Amino acid sequence: MTLFEMKQEFSYGKTIFDLPLRVAYYARVSTEKEEQINSLENQVSFFENYIRKNANWTFVNGYIDEGISGTTSLKRENFMKMVDDAKQKKFDLIISKEVSRFSRDTIDSLVYTRKLLEYDVCVYFLSDNIITASNDGELRLTIMSSMAQDEVRKISERTKFGFKRAIEKGTVLGTDNIWGYKKDKGRLVIDEEEAPLVKMIFYTYANNSKIGLKKLSTKLASQGFYNHNNKPFHQNTLKRIIQNPKYKGYYTGGLSTVIDYRTKRRNFYAQKEWITYKDNVKVPPIVSEELWEKANSKLLHRSKLMGSNKKYQTRYPLSGKIYCNKHKCSYIRKIRHYKSHQDVVYWYCSEFHKTGRKTCYPAYIEEQEIYDVAINKLNQYQVDKEEICNELLTFYRQTMERAEGMEQKLEEELNKLIKKKDKLLDLALDGVLSKEELERKNEELTSKIAELEETIKKETKKKLEKSKGSEEEYLNILKKNILKELNISLDNVDEYIEELIEKIIVKENKQQKYEFEIILK
């Protein structure tokens, strides 16, 4: 039935219930909570029964969007499918519970109801008793849509107000999706399974000058560490982890705010505008402040270099170390891609790379060949591996002995702090401390006690782990690994090149061949 025919029937006193119409319905809930899903099931059951009860109507289809906000239509897949099906003339009437279920944006409501009328499709909002094909339909729809839109604005303002109060109280906000922690009643608890990975990220990044975020991701993947989707960590994820002050025991809030309640568009504040302060009780640290600062200092430095378009001379272990004796210039790393076999890494003389003129020999060298030469050269040196190994094992034994004594000292310090805390109330009752001083000192001691208890817990765990196997067995495994590291191979040669080799000079000889001169640091 066309819109003209529908309006003509209305002029004769008929209603939509008297007309032979093909009918569809639209239902939506804005969250995926259980009670909302039940509400959706009730809506579906109600609409289907409601349409089938009318003998003049033919039920065509139902369109449902779950867990999606009604502030914009573009994100609602089934809503857009319904509009497309209306264009294909698949039905004459759409039933929806109320205007706010259809859309909470005034412009959206008007645009799409007008578009549907162009397609000869009328919308009937049951609770609001609005029929878009009626004479006053658009006026009433505008009023109801404006009210629904204003309700969204009020909800947004109330949410912002709630967040602001929560930040003032020091409640930890955000999702549970934070590496190394679990959220519990507005505070963070260290996740013992994930925390070691967070420590490794900070330690590796801060203490290895040659490693960037990309190489860090590759290194983690090679050691079997992946994100929650079982994929290598993205560089941005690693950057966010390193920049997050929570990992050094600082409360962090006010990172962003919604600036448009309709589109949910957010403004992300600069780090200096965040609300941050030390709180080891609600946000227990995973890494020390020194390590956190060291990692962030490096991150900032590398960001500045990237911003000034400076290239790292030490991006790879061989970067800046290979020199062409003829042209007095360095070699550049390039990868050749092949369809028939694996890619091959080559190092090109800078002069050849710039001009394309092959005036030196060799103009390029396969990386594997350079590694073979370096391994062969370094392994020629006589190294007393047993002596080095025994010295390291002696150092380790001394460390273990100190650790055992440390545990006792920590227990003594903890008992002292507990006694101090017990005396605070007596001092307050005697008038020595004011209420404000009592609260401040109590908070300080509580924080220190929590830190010490966590440290003791970790030391006890280490002790239990050691007791599971004999100390000698552990030392034998350690010795085996140390000796393996002292044998230079393709697995560990990168570190030796970085630490020991100053230059690798490529020279031509009289036989029109080339040779390497390796200069050690």
The pLDDT tens digits of the residues spanning 403-451 come to: 666 667 777 787 888 887 777 767 776 666 777 777 788 888 888 888 8
Summarised one tens digit per residue, pLDDT across range 470-488 is: 677 777 888 888 888 888 8
Handedness of CA 290, 295, 300, 305 (dihedral sign): positive
Give CATH superfamily name and number for 170-307. Answer: Putative Large Serine Recombinase; Chain B, Domain 2 (3.90.1750.20)
**Amino acid at residue number 50:** Y
Whether the Cβ atoms of residue 77 and residue 47 lie closer than 8 Å to each other: no
Summarised one tens digit per residue, pLDDT across range 333-382 is: 988 888 778 888 999 999 888 888 888 888 889 999 999 999 988 888 87
**Residue 263 above 50 pLDDT?**
no
From CA 161, how far away is CA 55, in angstroms rounded?
Answer: 51
* Strand 329-336, strand 344-349: pairing: antiparallel
- Counting Cα atoms < 13 Å in the Cβ hemisphere of 18 gives 11
Give CATH superfamily name and number for 3-153. Answer: Resolvase, N-terminal catalytic domain (3.40.50.1390)
> Could you tell me which residue, 520 or 170, shows the higher pLDDT?
520
**Residue 195 above 80 pLDDT?**
yes
Tokens of 76: 């609602």
Whether the Cβ atoms of residue 417 and residue 445 lie closer than 8 Å to each other: yes
* Strand 265-268, strand 181-184: pairing: unpaired
The number of angstroms, rounded, from the C-alpha of 245 to the middle of its chain's C-alpha atoms is: 14
Report the greatest alpha carbon distance in the chain.
109
Q: Which residues contact 60 (CB under 8 A, 6 or more apart)?
A: 22, 23, 24, 90, 91
Of the chain, the percentage scoring pLDDT greater than 90 comes to 12
**Residue 18 above 50 pLDDT?**
yes
What's the start-to-end Cα distance of the chain, in Å? 89
Cis ω before 362 (30° cut-off from 0): yes
Summarised one tens digit per residue, pLDDT across range 30-51 is: 654 444 445 667 778 888 999 9
Can you give the pLDDT at residue 130?
82
Check residue 170 and report its DSSP letter. Answer: T
Summarised one tens digit per residue, pLDDT across range 119-174 is: 998 888 887 788 887 766 666 666 665 665 566 566 556 655 555 555 555 555 55
What is the arithmetic mean of pLDDT over 252-266?
A: 53
Can you give the pLDDT at residue 114?
83
Whether the Cβ atoms of residue 24 and residue 94 lie closer than 8 Å to each other: yes
The number of angstroms, rounded, from the C-alpha of 201 to the middle of its chain's C-alpha atoms is: 14
| Dihedrals phi, psi of 262, to nearest 5 degrees | -80, -45
Summarised one tens digit per residue, pLDDT across range 197-248 is: 889 899 989 888 778 888 888 888 888 888 878 888 888 889 888 888 888 8
**Amino acid at residue number 241:** I
From CA 24, how far away is CA 435, in angstroms rounded?
Answer: 67
